Amino acid sequence: LSSFKIAVIPGDGIGQEVMPEGLKIIELAANSVGITLELMQLDWACADYYLAHGVMLPEDWKKQLDGVDAIYFGAVGWPEVVPDHISLWDSLLQFRREFDQYINLRPVRTFAGVPFPLAGKAPGDIQYSIVRENTEGEYSSVGGVMFANTDREVVVQQSVFTRHGADRVLKYAYELAASSAPDSRRLTVATKSNGMAISMPWWDERAKAMSNNYPDVVWDKQHIDILCARLVLQPERFDVIVATNLFGDILSDLGPATTGTIGIAPSANLNPERVFPSLFEPVHGSAPDIAGKGIANPVGMIWSGAMMLDFLTQGDSRGRQAHDVILKAIEMVLANGPRTPDLGGDASTKEMGDAIAALV
Amino acid sequence: LSSFKIAVIPGDGIGQEVMPEGLKIIELAANSVGITLELMQLDWACADYYLAHGVMLPEDWKKQLDGVDAIYFGAVGWPEVVPDHISLWDSLLQFRREFDQYINLRPVRTFAGVPFPLAGKAPGDIQYSIVRENTEGEYSSVGGVMFANTDREVVVQQSVFTRHGADRVLKYAYELAASSAPDSRRLTVATKSNGMAISMPWWDERAKAMSNNYPDVVWDKQHIDILCARLVLQPERFDVIVATNLFGDILSDLGPATTGTIGIAPSANLNPERVFPSLFEPVHGSAPDIAGKGIANPVGMIWSGAMMLDFLTQGDSRGRQAHDVILKAIEMVLANGPRTPDLGGDASTKEMGDAIAALV
Ligand SMILES: CC(C)[C@H](C(=O)O)[C@@H](O)C(=O)O
Ligand SMILES: CC(C)[C@H](C(=O)O)[C@@H](O)C(=O)O
């Protein structure tokens, strides 16, 4: 296959600003290896679509995405206009669930030129991947309020875990660890079995059962509280971390923070079987506080695009090649500038994007 | 009141090792201000009591604790012998719930002499208090397994929040912020209303409702993922953070990690109405990996004891005075040594405890 159809959803806030940079660069890289991208622009966001229609997505959104190979997604959210739980549940989280993007893969690493805040650590100490369950668990829509608006008000929300859901994300994580270099075959399972005494001991059991299939992987489980502490104090201990939806969410903002900025962090929401389109988005959100200034760091968006090219052509070296060319260009611009303000520079989003594009 | 009855539960692992240092120092400080402590030693832990009786606590534990003013608690947990979810639920978490210790107060600060891992930050940048809800929320015992041991296995666990429970912890946190120095009256409410769309938007509403009573407090809410990132990147932004049970647990390991070690972090599990005894314990756990070596940092235990003296005599300056004397001694020993290995020194637990005791 040499041509892929991509749905492009810039979204809100800085999503609008980083998307053009991402597109510019993935098109260049794709063309250079003989891949054609057919882009379908969609205005499904708070700012445009919701304001006009009162909902986040058109009713026939699935039909409109029929035949799409991947979704390239900026960021959704504009809390002044649409409460976050509506804008996110009816957009990003809906894609993740209904397209069964059950893996959220989030690499964490340092780059030369990006000062990272951990004193006493070497840049190479921070290099791991977070594999986050992306469809179930704590992000459930089951629950409700009783005795509403009275002193007796009670709110329950269920976390729902399935063996199907746990086993497939654990398997993916063990596979990733097993296929790493021999000295990087460590897997850490995030848990909280001492406090969440129903779901988490069960999760630990599933991890243990899966470990039997991967004798080469050295695994352990760590409670989420101390695990967060260790991402700061001993990041060199980690190669692959697998976590539930909520814990993966937390770890994958914290990890990038230890590399200096979450502006560079990418993520891939994968349906590994390719039955549904996968979705690629930066870890940062719409960032209303800096939106409109043209100073957002475009690297998370661009790197996510590189992951998209790699995933799309799996089994075909061209996607890998396009990915690597982009990463190399990102590395060089992070090292030598121009850099956006979050990295201590004064470049605009576009200047940084142009510099990366020039190297691709 | 000049005499208080304290239940002493050293517990497992390093709990056994740090407790004698804590006791030595709080007795000295208490005596110096004319307070008498009547200590009741209890062996309720995995290592002793569980091995002998097959349960964590005697059936009449409440009766045995009748008339006790506070519980001084080391750490419980010995996962090789008792699964964590049993040892903790039937001990520490049971005390918190049944004694309605609904506030878990965890101060976070740096000390001269303790190198902290955040490059580019000044020691004074990290100084805030975490107020954690301590009885409900995500730590519930409601839920179960369906289709057990089959491919269709489903596990649900409910988070249960009550208006009663949310409002009282929010109130405590707003009061704490309101009574701080004028330039430290900021309150951050940890949330995750974009992902946990039933319970957390409700929690945000309760926070907003409470804020109306505290016009002097500048408050905001932050999603737990970005909040964790900011404890690393911008700790100077925080004065008081209020959080649900699980989020408070995570933040209060991460916060101390940014100060260099969780070995120094204290906590107070408070029943502010004093209907039931409150419980004071270091944030670190039983740490099986370093137990038995006599190298555990005793500061978390000692500082927790200082918080206990302060709380016991509230409204009486002697407790405050005893607290301050201990804190001053901790500060001096952290600055000048001797220090335990987690602080880069080679002192034993006892040597460090003795040094602090000598200054009290
Ligand atoms: C041991 C564990 C159950 C406990 C908790 O999660 O509350 C601990 O981590 C803490 O922070 O006090
Ligand atoms: C925006 C929000 C719902 C989302 C999440 O919690 O999953 C984001 O934080 C992320 O990590 O992708």
User: Which CATH number describes the domain made up of B117-258?
Assistant: 3.40.718.10
Pocket test for ligand 1, best of B92, B102, B141 (most atoms within 8 A of CB): B92
Residues linked to residue A279 through DSSP beta bridges, in sequence order: A71, A269
Q: What is the dihedral of CA A203, A209, A213, A217, to 10 degrees?
A: 50
Q: What is the pLDDT of residue A316?
A: 85
- Mean pLDDT across chain A: 96
Residues above pLDDT 90, as percent of chain A: 95
CATH 3.40.718.10 fits B1-101+270-360, yes or no: yes
Q: For A312, phi and psi rounded to 5 degrees? A: -55, -45
Q: 3-state class of B18 per DSSP?
A: helix
Asked if pLDDT for residue B294 goes beyond 90, the answer is yes
User: Which CATH number describes the domain made up of A1-101+267-360?
Assistant: 3.40.718.10
Buried-exposed string A193-229: b where 16+ CB fall within 10 A, e elsewhere? bbbbbbbbbbbbebbeebbeebeebebebbbbbbbbb
Ligand in closest contact with the CA of A254: 2
Q: Which residue has the tokens 């307070």?
A: B35
Distances from the Cα of B336 to the Cαs of A194, A357, B359, in angstroms? 37, 54, 12
Give B-chain residues touching A250 at CB under 8 angstroms: 224-225, 228, 250
Q: What is the pLDDT of residue A180?
A: 94
Q: What is the pLDDT of residue B17?
A: 98
Pairing of strands B127-133, B240-243: parallel
Q: How far apart are CA B284 and CA B22, in angstroms?
A: 14
Grade residue B348 by pLDDT with cuts at 50, 70 and 90.
very high
Asked if pLDDT for residue B29 goes beyond 80, the answer is yes
Centre of ligand 1 to C-alpha B109, Å, is 20
Q: What is the mean pLDDT of residues B217-227?
A: 97
Rg over CA atoms, chain A: 20
Q: Which of A246, A262, A267, A286 is the best mutation test for B, with the most CBs of B within 10 A?
A: A246
Chain centre distance of CA B346? 26
Ligand in closest contact with the CA of A279: 2
- DSSP letter string, A112-159: TTS--SBTT--GGG-EEEEEEE-SSBTS---EEEESTTSTT-EEEEEE
Instruction: Domain ranges for chain A, please list them.
Output: 1-101+267-360, 117-258
Give B-chain residues touching A224 at CB under 8 angstroms: 249-250
Grade residue A48 by pLDDT with cuts at 50, 70 and 90.
confident
Q: How far apart are CA A107 and CA A264, in angstroms?
A: 10
Q: What is the pLDDT of residue B93?
A: 96
Q: Average the pLDDT over each of B35-39, B65-69, B122-126, B289-293 and give the range with the smallest value.
A: B122-126
Give B-chain residues touching A108 at CB under 8 angstroms: none
Pairing of strands B240-243, B186-191: parallel
Q: How far apart are CA A136 and CA A227, in angstroms?
A: 21
- Beta-carbon contacts of B298 under 8 Å, excluding residues fewer than 6 positions away, are B17, B18, B21, B22, B340, B349, B352, B353, B356
Give A-chain residues touching B156 at CB under 8 angstroms: 142, 158-161, 198-199
- DSSP letter string, A158-206: EEEEEHHHHHHHHHHHHHHHHTS-GGG-EEEEEE-TTTSTTHHHHHHHH
- What would the pLDDT profile of B100-115 be if each residue is shown by its tens digit? 999 999 999 999 999 9
The Cα of A352 is separated from the nearest Cα of chain B by a number of Å equal to 22
Chain B residue with CA closest to A137: the answer is B156
Asked if pLDDT for residue B143 goes beyond 90, the answer is yes
HSE-up of residue B341 (Cα within 13 Å, Cβ side):
6
Nearest to B257 among A154, A193, A229 (CB): A229
Q: What is the pLDDT of residue B48?
A: 85
Nearest to B117 among A120, A161, A163 (CB): A120
Q: How far apart are CA B140 and CA B199, in angstroms?
A: 14
Asked if pLDDT for residue A236 goes beyond 80, the answer is yes
Token couple for A137: 């668990």
> With contact defined as beta carbons under 8 Å apart, do B125 and B234 qualify?
no
Nearest to B158 among A119, A156, A162 (CB): A156
Centre of ligand 1 to C-alpha A195, Å, is 7
Q: What is the mean pLDDT of residues B3-7?
A: 97
Token couple for B75: 């750490």
Nearest to B155 among A156, A202, A233 (CB): A202
- What would the pLDDT profile of A288-342 be if each residue is shown by its tens digit? 999 999 999 999 999 999 999 999 998 789 999 999 999 999 999 999 999 999 9
Q: How far apart are CA A4 and CA A18, in angstroms?
A: 21
Centre of ligand 2 to C-alpha B290, Å, is 37
Q: Which of A76, A85, A116, A264 is the best mutation test for B, with the most CBs of B within 10 A?
A: A85
- What would the pLDDT profile of A69-127 be if each residue is shown by its tens digit? 999 999 999 999 999 989 999 999 999 999 999 999 999 999 999 999 999 898 889 99
- Please judge whether B229 and A77 are an interchain contact, meaning their C-beta atoms are less than 8 angstroms apart: no
Q: How far apart are CA B85 and CA A10, in angstroms?
A: 44
The Cα of B127 is separated from the nearest Cα of chain A by a number of Å equal to 17
Amino acid present at B243? A
Q: What is the pLDDT of residue A315?
A: 72
pTM greater than the 0.85 cutoff: yes
Q: What is the pLDDT of residue B146?
A: 96
Name the residue among B13, B4, B85, B7 with its Cα closest to residue B279.
B7
Residues above pLDDT 70, as percent of chain A: 100
Grade residue A234 by pLDDT with cuts at 50, 70 and 90.
very high
Give B-chain residues touching A199 at CB under 8 angstroms: 143, 155-157
Looking at residue A58, what DSSP letter applies?
-
The Cα of A3 is separated from the nearest Cα of chain B by a number of Å equal to 35
Name the residue among B193, B191, B223, B209 with its Cα closest to residue A87.
B193
Q: For A335, phi and psi rounded to 5 degrees? A: -70, -40
Same fold, B1-101+270-360 and B117-258: yes
Grade residue B123 by pLDDT with cuts at 50, 70 and 90.
confident
Asked if pLDDT for residue B1 goes beyond 80, the answer is no
Pairing of strands A154-162, B154-162: antiparallel
Q: What is the mean pLDDT of residues B218-237?
A: 97
Q: 3-state class of B237 per DSSP?
A: helix
- What would the pLDDT profile of A19-43 be if each residue is shown by its tens digit? 999 999 999 999 999 999 999 999 9
- Mean pLDDT across chain B: 96
HSE-up of residue A254 (Cα within 13 Å, Cβ side):
31
Q: How far apart are CA A22 and CA A253, in angstroms?
A: 21
Q: What is the mean pLDDT of residues A239-261?
A: 97
> With contact defined as beta carbons under 8 Å apart, do B144 and B266 qualify?
no
Closest CA to ligand 1's atom 4: A195
Pairing of strands A70-75, A278-282: parallel
Q: What is the mean pLDDT of residues A222-230?
A: 97
Amino acid present at A11? G
Pocket test for ligand 1, best of B93, B134, B244 (most atoms within 8 A of CB): B93
Grade residue B316 by pLDDT with cuts at 50, 70 and 90.
confident
Nearest to A151 among B157, B164, B202 (CB): B164
Give B-chain residues touching A195 at CB under 8 angstroms: 85, 88, 93, 138-139, 245-246, 249
